[in-house]
A and B are shown apart, each in its own frame.
Chain A
């Protein structure tokens, strides 16, 4: 008769013997009743078990818990927000504008030959314009919104499904098998590009992805600073020119002018040839007006004249809640702009690091939280630039 293992002794001590099955449980109990050696070992293991529990409980956190009612309030607010996620969608759309804008900067060196060809740019630009316009139709918008809502549910249902195979738990909560669910495949259009920006773990946007808007919020998205462009193995096809719709080109022109006024602005913004940009605008005038969304042109997400380092989503529950834009102020210093929808109260901002100034401002479509390692006045001046657009 072999003695009990340490694992079986701990299972006995933990009162989990029945979870091994009735035959196994009976065997362990029977052995323990008749084996002095194992009974002695049981006491040794009991000391270890108690010591481990004592060590762990010595690190108990002391923190005030939210009440169930507070949790319910947050959940209710979130549910209503998900239902009315149109605003989020609009933010998402606007984020793609910034992505495209940043990509435009990144690619401007690569563009020069393409753009100088003139009319060649036109058909490609029209394609992009049509896509974005389609997205603005109610049907397309609904599809996008529902996809955004579905994503976290499915993802979490996946884990629930895995969890569903076990036996009922000790707390006695009623258990029902979860129906099979399908894991959503990773967003296919965001492809891996060697990351040359400071955060190599994030994903970069391949320039020839025509469906950026629908997925820009699905993954963290980084637009590399212009200084990093040479490290990118970017394909130089004509489709590269699709990236920036004409509206953005106009914004770039304004940006180049605005850059002169910003003390800490990146020199790269200033060297955008305004004349070249204007030429591009003339090439595709018809596409412009139908494309422009008043929400985007009335206030931009990024401060003109500063390099966009990254555009990432701010989310909770897998539901995109807003957009975080990080821009380069000067070497090593960044400006962070967090755009939150009106439904998310600005009290949920993140505590700024010491030495970082923070401003929280209401905006027409929600809230803006700005942070940078500059004085309050400088930060306000930077944010004002944002609001003039």
Chain B
């Protein structure tokens, strides 16, 4: 059966970028990796394209983490010059605020175990329990338990970080 690429792109690409962004914390890189995964899907035409895409995306993010130090030393990110030209100059204040938010979320996610984090991010990217189960090796019945724990820890960790930040803003006065 042929894949409805248009539908798949519409329903999956934003989720894929979102999923990858929480792993690499660089929107452009997340977009590039999502593009890479999607191009591979177009080339290989997997039968279960959506699940396949997330599997490839997770692998790409893992490879990314492995090579990030090497790349920092010698190289920066893969980047199209055309896209660089198109990119509008970002508003510094807005960017700073956004970075701060990312940092908080990133730190809160780091408080989770790797498996809890993976399950939460897959769910957040629109994967079903069955898809999450197949990708992580968990039983379908364990996905809910994992999500319950992951969500609670995320909320706790984020709350603590936020609390500390509020305190530090008040403290000097």
Q: How large is the interface on B (under 10, 10 to 19, 20 to 34, 35 or more residues)?
A: 35 or more
Q: Which B1-50 residues have a C-beta within 8 angstroms of A? A: 1, 3-9, 11-14, 17-18, 21-22, 27-28, 30-31, 34-36, 38-40, 42-44, 46-50
For B134, give its contact among A49, A59, A162, A334 (CB under 8 Å).
A162
Known: A19-B129, A63-B30, A64-B86. A48 touches B155 (CB 8 A): yes
What are the residues of chain B within 8 A of A71 when measuring CB–CB? 9, 35, 38-39, 42
Known: A61-B17, A61-B27. A350 touches B79 (CB 8 A): yes
Known: A9-B148, A48-B152. A176 touches B1 (CB 8 A): yes
Main secondary structure, interface of B, reads: helix
Shortest CB-to-CB span from B89 to chain A, Å, is 14
Assembly CA distance A74 to B40 (angstroms) = 10
What are the residues of chain B within 8 A of A267 when measuring CB–CB? none
> Contact at A153–B44, with CB atoms within 8 Å?
yes
Residues 319-352 of chain A, each 1 if its beta carbon lies under 8 Å from chain B, else 0? 0000000100000001010000000000111111
> Contact at B50–A173, with CB atoms within 8 Å?
yes
Known: A48-B151, A317-B39, A350-B75. A178 touches B80 (CB 8 A): no
What are the residues of chain B within 8 A of A139 when measuring CB–CB? none
For A11, give its contact among B5, B144, B154 (CB under 8 Å).
B144
The answer to the question of A14 belonging to the interface, with a C-beta cut-off of 8 Å to chain B, is yes
> Contact at B11–A19, with CB atoms within 8 Å?
no
> Contact at A334–B48, with CB atoms within 8 Å?
no
The answer to the question of A186 belonging to the interface, with a C-beta cut-off of 8 Å to chain B, is no
Residue of A at shortest CB range from B75? A350
Assembly CA distance A175 to B144 (angstroms) = 24
Residues 347-381 of chain A, each 1 if its beta carbon lies under 8 Å from chain B, else 0? 11111110000000000000000010000000000
What is the count of residue pairs linking A and B with beta-carbon distances less than 8 angstroms?
226
What are the residues of chain A within 8 A of B143 when measuring CB–CB? 7, 11, 16
Q: Which A141-178 residues have a C-beta within 8 angstroms of B? A: 153, 156-157, 159-160, 162-167, 169-171, 173-178
What are the residues of chain A within 8 A of B146 when measuring CB–CB? 7
Which 5 pairs from chain A and chain B are nearest by CB? A7-B145, A11-B144, A61-B27, A75-B42, A166-B134
Binding site for B on A (CB under 8 A): 5-11, 14, 16, 19-20, 24, 45, 48-49, 51-53, 55-56, 58-66, 68, 71-72, 74-75, 78-79, 82, 153, 156-157, 159-160, 162-167, 169-171, 173-178, 199, 201, 316-317, 326, 334, 336, 347-353, 371
6 further interface pairs, Cβ-Cβ under 8 Å (given A347-B80, A348-B80): A156-B44, A163-B48, A167-B130, A169-B127, A175-B48, A176-B48
List 22 contacting pairs A-B, 8 Å CB cutoff, sorted by A.
A7-B144, A7-B145, A16-B129, A20-B141, A45-B148, A48-B148, A53-B124, A56-B120, A59-B101, A61-B30, A61-B31, A62-B98, A63-B27, A64-B83, A66-B31, A78-B39, A156-B44, A160-B46, A171-B11, A173-B8, A349-B79, A350-B77
